[in-house]
Amino acid sequence: MIERVPSGIPGLDELIEGGFVKGSINLVAGTTGTCKTTFCTQFIWHGLQNNEPGVYVTVEQEAEEIIRSSKRFGFDFEPYIQQGKCLFIDCMPESLKELEKVVFDSIVKLDAKRFVLDSLTVALLGLREIKDPALLRREVFRFSKRLKALGVTSLLISEVPETQPKALTRFGFEEFIADGVIVLYFLEYSAGSRTRSLMIRKMRNTDHAVDIFPFQLTENGIVVKT
């Protein structure tokens, strides 16, 4: 039996055999406005409701801003932060070693069961010491192996450029390293109508759905329509 970690996204778990594989690395990919951050904060919030400590590392947007914005969905992280069950950390690393120290020290400190990096794309763009794409891929693979060794279930945000909407990642290798890839879409139609949807592009050890499913951003967060 494969142990699963519920996503906290209503409607999603039934599409992925009950949740993410425990200890897996999953990309949440999408262009601007596709609710990537909301998806990931909802994942951390659900874990806290089940006594699973969580770490959220942001390398661009301020942690306080994410905490404040999350309250509109009823995700009040502050009591959990005060109780030492949750960490939101600002980090602008200039080296992979610096990023790893922040991430792994935080996970070990809390004995975290859930982890989010927002975003992997920005983190990699900021690594000045690695110029060789092949070396960068190896280092990201090593980073993911260390995450798995800690047993934490991880979501890594991948920012897709608006000029390359069919891409899954910025560098073109992240999707091969990850165990799972969920792509979020924001589609525009005539007469100004818009809709959000998602697709489970990949999930190892999972008999997952392959259709595109619409989702809504409600007062309680994301809800997938199946």
CATH number of the domain that 161 lies in?
3.40.50.300
φ/ψ of 43, rounded to 5, equals -65, -45
pLDDT block averages, 10 residues each, the chain of length 226? 97 98 97 95 98 96 97 98 97 88 97 97 84 89 96 96 78 93 82 80 98 95 95
Q: How many domains does the structure of the chain reveal?
A: 1
113: nearest Cα among 176, 24, 181, 15: 24
CA–CA separation, 123 and 93 (whole Å): 7
The predicted pLDDT at position 171 comes to 84
Q: Which domain holds residue 156?
A: 4-224
115: nearest Cα among 52, 193, 178, 180: 52
The predicted pLDDT at position 75 comes to 98
pTM given for the model: 0.95
For helices 36-49 and 63-70, give the axis angle rounded to 10 degrees.
Answer: 70
Contact by Cβ (8 Å): 42, 8: yes
Contact by Cβ (8 Å): 116, 55: yes
The predicted pLDDT at position 1 comes to 87
3-state secondary structure of 87: strand
43: nearest Cα among 116, 102, 110, 107: 116
